[in-house]
Chain A
Amino acid sequence: MEAREIVFDFLEGYDLLGAFWVTVKLTVYSALGALIWGTLLAGMRVGPVPLMRGFGTAYVNIVRNIPLTVIIVFASLGLFQTLQVTLGGGDNFETVNFRLAVLSLALYTAAFVCEALRSGINTVPAGQAEAARALGLSFTQVLRLIILPQAFRSVVNPLANVLIALTKNTTVAAAIGVVEAAYLMKDMIEAEAQLILISAIFAFGFICLTLPTGLVLGWVSKKVAVKR
């Protein structure tokens, strides 16, 4: 009992759960944003308008090749500090930084969602689209009613991986001062001596977040897979 108290003494004064809660919130909001924007991008990339196809391709290829750190710092410096975009956060830096981090994470992750979805679209048998067109459905109808539902079901696993990646990528938000898990960890390492223990705690925290995601979505993926 006593030994444990001494070992975990250093945790006092740190809001561990609070930091991980910020990580969770960052993940959930940016995941929703990335899913929506990524689907739109995928739609553009397979759609009939050449300019939108070009835009989708360019977007994915540029965003994928820039480090997330640069994107997040850019959002803070460019959007917030220069263009004064506060995303409704007003004068509260905490809110603004959080929202900017969500925005950057969503914009970045959308590129990967788009690519995953596109490959999902590729796995749908051509006959499905042909049949849909034969019924007289328009492009958006074909995509919305026939192709995407099947595509989504075949890429649950890759999308789960994107989600896990996103969870871990939220650590980069520390660069603009969002107090999430990695920010707290760096603070603690600087102030406390128990290096290995601190690392282990944070590693464990992330495993708690990512492993269930992988397991649950892996199960979902099997459940909804299109049997052919």
Chain B
Amino acid sequence: MAREIPATITVLAVLVVVFSRYFAVGAALDLTRVTDRWLMLTYAASVFVGVINLTRLHLDRLRRGKDTRSYDLVLLFVMYGYMALGFAQTNAGVTFRWVYNAVLVPLDSTMYSLLAFYIASASFRAFRVRSFEAALMMVAAALVMIGSVPLGDALSPAFPAARAWLMRVAQTAGFRGIQIGAGLGGLATAFRIFLGIERAHLRA
């Protein structure tokens, strides 16, 4: 029961979408136009999953008296406080937007920009020409880097031209090969889910 019903739902869900796409009757019945809406509602209903998981994790850490207690408290306080503010004001509220622009935006952008420092360090330490393949990779990287900035244009028209060739021919060929492989892999996985061979989600 606990396995059979979910497994049946999975197969039916696949069939509904595939039937509507490939069979005229399915399209005429407008199956997915109705079921798409249902799916969106199930997603919307699950919106609190992240909040509940974070709450459980950090309450658990508070209870166990870990040394991150003050941070756990801050996280819970900020999360519920900001959510309450949003419910009270809507996302268009003055204070809600104030916090969004003053705190969330800079934290998010700066977090990603940190990687620039580690890329710089790795360039010095890890990018070694140990083989012909590594040399190819380094030359491609250097040409793309110099060819995609105005300095490259100013030094020689050969740099942007070499970059353009690399981007449009060589690297596009490589990524197309990789993506065709990945696309076929995705189709195979979807088919395995349909056939019930792939059932990791039923163990959740």
User: A and B: partners?
Assistant: no
Q: List the interface of chain B (C-beta within 8 A of A).
A: none
